[in-house]
Amino acid sequence: MNAIHLIYLVPLLPLIGFLVNGLGRKILSKRAVGVIGSAVILGSFIISLLIFFQVRQEDFTPQIISYFDFINVGTIHASFAFQVDQLSSLFLLIITGVGFLIHVYSASYMHEENATDLARYFSYLNLFVFSMLLLVLGANYIILFIGWEGVGLCSYLLIGYWFKNTSYNNAAKKAFVMNRIGDLGFLLGIFWMINTFGSVSFHDLFNPNNGIISILHETNSHRLIGITLLLFVGAIGKSAQIPLYTWLPDAMAGPTPVSALIHAATMVTAGIYMIARSNLMYTMAPSTMNVVAIIGLATAIFAATIALKQNDIKKVLAYSTVSQLGYMFLGLGVGAYTGAVFHVMTHAFFKALLFLGAGSVIHAMGGEQDLRKMGGLSKRMRITYITFFIGCLAISGIPPFAGFFSKDEILAVTFSKNPLLYIIGLGGALLTAFYMFRLLALAFMGKFRGTEDQLHHVHESPGAITFPLISLAFLSVVGGLVGIPEIYMQHGHRLGEFLSPVFAQSNAILATHEITHQTEWMLTGISTILIVLISVWAWNKNKNYQGETTAETGLDRVLEHKWYVDELYDAIIVKPLRSLSLFFNNVIERSGIDAIVNGIGKSIQYGSRQIRLLQSGQAGSYILMMVIGILILFIIQLFAN
Amino acid sequence: MEIKWYIFLSVTLFCIGIAGALTRRNAIIIFMCIELMLNSVNLLLVAFSKMHLSGIAAKFPALATDAQLFVFFIMVVAAAEVSVGLAIIVMMYRNTHSVDINFLNRLKN
């Protein structure tokens, strides 16, 4: 059986789940909701696996399955089509696989919600997964954009899931508005692309034989730079890079599994996917690549410094996501496309693990998220502790866990491009190790700092929560082994070989000056030693934290307040905009538009009151007026000729 | 006789009719004034017909008497209209014992 013909089921199943749960929310039981919500994703995952195995075969060529004409206007033809190739099949696996585990976890984590809300929650989750699948499956930028908007909408719905809380609603609105800013750039990029190339289909643009971009000879043309920069603006919004990153930490307002879904499997990886998909276009515009690399690196460092001083367990993880996304963009910017996609995959494993672990902790603590009030949980929550520990090892980049290989690959390519960027990137990696082990030590070591009630409540979470944790921990351990660099093992980079057809054209253009194996060994050795030292230091520094709070000073204080970026945006954008709106409301609206509308109404009322007097009911006066009218007509006639 | 005398007569009659219709309050007199206007127009029609068609009557004999025929039609219609109007006025008088039109505007309430 040809599994690729079943591709439509992959997004269709979550859509069905969304409809069933959404429409039947009043009648379905909580159990049924959880089962339906998870089962549809499991179904998608199984089909994705079948497709993946088919794609892996030697003689596979990328396939486009077209369903119907979506837009057919003038010279623009965009069909509703899915593209199955190495990149999309890999993303399908990540989204449905990690997504399924998060669904299972949610069913248990959200058990305190009532049945209607739970059904609403699961229908949103399914819609989220559906949008993301549409995004990665789309065979042109327009279908991709539909999914792109879909994930934006679902993130809004899910962040504001507890919509009775105003600050959560504000967080949801913030996420939506920030995304809109990026989406505008993306949309303009698509328009420009249509104007320049006359097509938005990946096949028309990028296929090796006669793709429009592939046969371009000129690199770095102004149009290409413009288009790629606009697309990158979209990626900045969706993937939370400077300057549009502030929505992601606020998105912690949503339920914890939602955070895991947004941060690991869906949404934020959309930007990476889009650029990886358009890799050839970016390769042809080296100036944009530099911008991408610099913004990525700046975000990686910037977010990592903020994460050092956060005390909310989810906030630390949120900033670490922003930072890791920065690494992925750094990878894309220096041409390490495989490395970036590899990091998306490993990051999906360990970040989902960390978030779900954090959720398990929060669950056990009865909703407490402040690290200063935790501590000593390692003895009471064995499985959570061990899996969380593995997640920390993986994200910090300690061999042989998943994060080591992917981060190392990105940094190695960065070094070959520019050693300075490498050093800054390595600094970011050290910061990552520090804040992760600080988090780990604060939450699980030392003595318990919460209330008595919480102490009695602390317990290991049930199976539906620990099962995803264990699965993801397993993946975080072995996930990196698909991408072992050449220096350790011949043909060790199985992922790179798998993805090579997608990036072949770019790699042919990018002049890769290989660094020698000796240098690479040295770099890996130094970075690993430094990371381990920093981790141990952070661990020792924080494991005996007693709950003392000292007022932070100087730089610490700035970091604790997230470099005052939110305040800055508030001052330069939100407040002026608000006063402008108030001005418009009070002056333009009240005394301008309202006055015109009311004035028209009043003058008509007045005029008709006057004209009404003419209609007296006296037949004589009517005739007189008629005569006068006829006379006037006669006079006009006389002078007109 | 020149056409202008016919026109003067017709206009005079019409103006008398208008003046009467505007100034008098008695419904019957207003009615007579309306008839006067109608017939002044009839007169004009016949006069113009005589003037324009005398030249071409030789070529198109059928057209020569058309206007005069129209006038008879108009008179017939006017007679029918007068009978209806007078009937209304009679009924009105029976109900209100008055033919004053200012008295009749009560209908508007």
Which residues from B are below 8 Å from A619, CB to CB? Answer: 101, 104-105
- Among A502, A533, A560, the domain-final residue is A560
Place of tokens 């837009």: A71
Domain that holds residue A575: 561-602
Q: Rounded CA gap, A584 and A466, in Å?
A: 54
Task: Give residues 601 to 630 of A whose Cβ lies within 8 Å of B.
Answer: 616-620, 623-624, 627
Q: Is B100 left (phi over 0), alpha (psi -120 to 50) or beta?
A: beta
pLDDT of residue A272: 92
Q: Which residues contact A166 (CB under 8 A, 6 or more apart)?
A: none
- Among A105, A139, A173, the domain-final residue is A139
Residue A596 within a domain: yes
Residue A618 within a domain: no
Using alpha carbons, list the distances in angstroms from residue A592 to A37, A583, A585, A588, A604. 52, 12, 10, 5, 18
Shared domain for A90 and A216, answered yes or no, is no
- Of the candidates A615, A349, A556, the residue with the CA atom closest to the CA atom of residue A472: A349
Q: Rounded CA gap, A618 and A408, in Å?
A: 100
Which residues from A are below 8 Å from B107, CB to CB? Answer: 617
Backbone φ and ψ for A572, nearest 5 degrees, come out as -95, -20
Shared domain for A202 and A116, answered yes or no, is no
- Of the candidates A432, A312, A448, A292, the residue with the CA atom closest to the CA atom of residue A370: A312
- Of the candidates A312, A300, A357, A274, the residue with the CA atom closest to the CA atom of residue A101: A357
A367 touches chain B (CB under 8 A): no
Residue A108 in contact with residue A465, Cβ under 8 Å?
yes
Which residues from A are below 8 Å from B18, CB to CB? Answer: 623, 627
Which residues from B are below 8 Å from A627, CB to CB? Answer: 18, 22
Which residues from B are below 8 Å from A616, CB to CB? Answer: 105
Residue A610 within a domain: no
Please give the interface size between A and B, counted as residue pairs whose CB atoms are below 8 Å apart. 21
CB contact under 8 A, A623 and B21: yes
Residue A414 in contact with residue A512, Cβ under 8 Å?
no
Residue B109 within a domain: no
CB contact under 8 A, B105 and A617: yes
Shared domain for A517 and A575, answered yes or no, is no
Residue A471 in contact with residue A344, Cβ under 8 Å?
no
What is the domain count for chain A? 3
pLDDT of residue B59: 73
Exposure string over A232-259, b if 16+ CB within 10 A, otherwise e:
bbbbbbbbbbbebbbbbbbbbbbbbbbb
ipTM confidence: 0.71
Residue A207 in contact with residue A280, Cβ under 8 Å?
no
Query: Which residue of A lies nearest to B103 if distances are taken between CA atoms?
Result: A618
A516 touches chain B (CB under 8 A): no
Degrees, nearest 5: CA angle A212-A51-A37: 110
Using alpha carbons, list the distances in angstroms from residue A460 to A14, A105, A181, A354, A386. 31, 14, 42, 16, 12
pTM of the model: 0.79
Backbone φ and ψ for A209, nearest 5 degrees, come out as -80, -55
Q: Which residue in B18, B23, B102 is closest to A618 by CB distance?
A: B102
Query: Which residue of B lies nearest to A622 if distances are taken between CA atoms?
Result: B22
Residue B38 within a domain: yes
CB contact under 8 A, A619 and B108: no
Q: Which amino acid is at A588?
A: I
Query: Which residue of B lies nearest to A624 if distances are taken between CA atoms?
Result: B22
Exposure string over B39-62, b if 16+ CB within 10 A, otherwise e:
bbbbbbbbbebeeebeeeeeeeee
Shared domain for A395 and A274, answered yes or no, is yes
Q: Which residues face A76 on adjacent strands? A: A73
Residue A396 in contact with residue A530, Cβ under 8 Å?
no
With an 8 Å Cβ cutoff, the interface of chain B facing chain A consists of 18, 21-23, 25, 101-102, 104-105, 107-108
> Which residue of B14, B16, B22, B89 to mutate against A (max A Cβ within 10 Å)?
B22
Q: DSSP for A340-361, please give it.
A: HHHHHHHHHHHHHHHHHHHHHH
**Can you tell me whether residue A381 is helix, strand or coil?**
coil
pLDDT of residue A1: 52
Which residues from A are below 8 Å from B26, CB to CB? Answer: none
What are the helix and strand counts (H, E) for chain B?
A: 4, 0
Shared domain for A336 and A213, answered yes or no, is yes
Query: Which residue of A lies nearest to B104 if distances are taken between CA atoms?
Result: A618
Residue A4 within a domain: yes
Q: How many CB atoms lie within 10 A of CB A517?
A: 12
Q: Which residue in B22, B101, B102 is closest to A624 by CB distance?
A: B22
Shared domain for A213 and A295, answered yes or no, is yes
Q: Which residues contact A408 (CB under 8 A, 6 or more apart)?
A: A397, A485, A524, A527
Shared domain for A566 and A535, answered yes or no, is no
Using alpha carbons, list the distances in angstroms from residue A247 to A102, A237, A324, A326. 22, 9, 16, 15
| Shortest Cα–Cα distance, B103 to chain A (Å) | 10
Q: DSSP for B48-70, please give it.
A: HHHHHHHHHTTT-GGGTTHHHHH
Q: Which residue in A616, A617, A620 is closest to B22 by CB distance?
A: A620
Degrees, nearest 5: CA angle B31-B35-B38: 140
Residue A350 in contact with residue A476, Cβ under 8 Å?
yes
Burial class (CB in 10 A: 0-12, 13-18, 19+), A39: middle
Query: Which residue of A lies nearest to B23 if distances are taken between CA atoms?
Result: A620
CB contact under 8 A, B105 and A619: yes
Residue B90 within a domain: yes
pLDDT of residue A500: 84
pLDDT of residue A487: 72
pLDDT of residue A459: 79
- Of the candidates A287, A220, A11, the residue with the CA atom closest to the CA atom of residue A133: A11
CB contact under 8 A, A619 and B101: yes
Shared domain for A315 and A438, answered yes or no, is yes
| Shortest Cα–Cα distance, A631 to chain B (Å) | 12
- Of the candidates A21, A110, A211, the residue with the CA atom closest to the CA atom of residue A464: A110
pLDDT of residue B63: 66
Domain that holds residue B98: 3-104
| Shortest Cα–Cα distance, A26 to chain B (Å) | 60
A574 touches chain B (CB under 8 A): no
Q: Which residues face A334 on adjacent strands? A: none
Residue A63 in contact with residue A84, Cβ under 8 Å?
yes
Shared domain for A91 and A151, answered yes or no, is no
Shared domain for A272 and A411, answered yes or no, is yes
Which residues from A are below 8 Å from B101, CB to CB? Answer: 619-620
Query: Which residue of A lies nearest to B34 if distances are taken between CA atoms?
Result: A623
CB contact under 8 A, A623 and B22: yes
Residue B77 within a domain: yes
CB contact under 8 A, A617 and B22: no
Which stretches of chain B drop beneath a pLDDT of 50?
Answer: 109
Residue A288 within a domain: yes
Series of mean pLDDT values for 10-residue runs along chain A (641 residues): 81 93 89 91 93 86 87 85 90 92 89 87 92 92 92 91 89 90 92 87 83 75 89 91 86 87 84 91 89 92 89 90 91 89 91 90 84 81 89 87 87 87 90 90 83 79 86 88 77 81 83 74 87 87 74 75 83 89 89 91 94 79 87 92 72
Place of tokens 């470099």: A563
Shared domain for A370 and A351, answered yes or no, is yes
Query: Which residue of A lies nearest to B14 if distances are taken between CA atoms?
Result: A627
Place of tokens 């911008």: A291
What is the domain count for chain B? 1
Residue B100 in contact with residue B26, Cβ under 8 Å?
yes
A554 touches chain B (CB under 8 A): no
CB contact under 8 A, A620 and B18: no
Place of tokens 């199943």: A13
CB contact under 8 A, A618 and B105: yes
Residue A348 in contact with residue A98, Cβ under 8 Å?
yes
Q: DSSP for A542-588, please give it.
A: HTT---------HHHHHHHTGGGHHHHHIIIIIHHHHHHHHHIIIII
Shared domain for A461 and A505, answered yes or no, is yes
CB contact under 8 A, A618 and B18: no
Q: Rounded CA gap, A11 and A43, in Å?
A: 10
Give the pairing of strands A63-73 and A76-84.
antiparallel
CATH of the domain at B95: 1.10.287.3510
- Among A535, A560, A585, the domain-final residue is A560
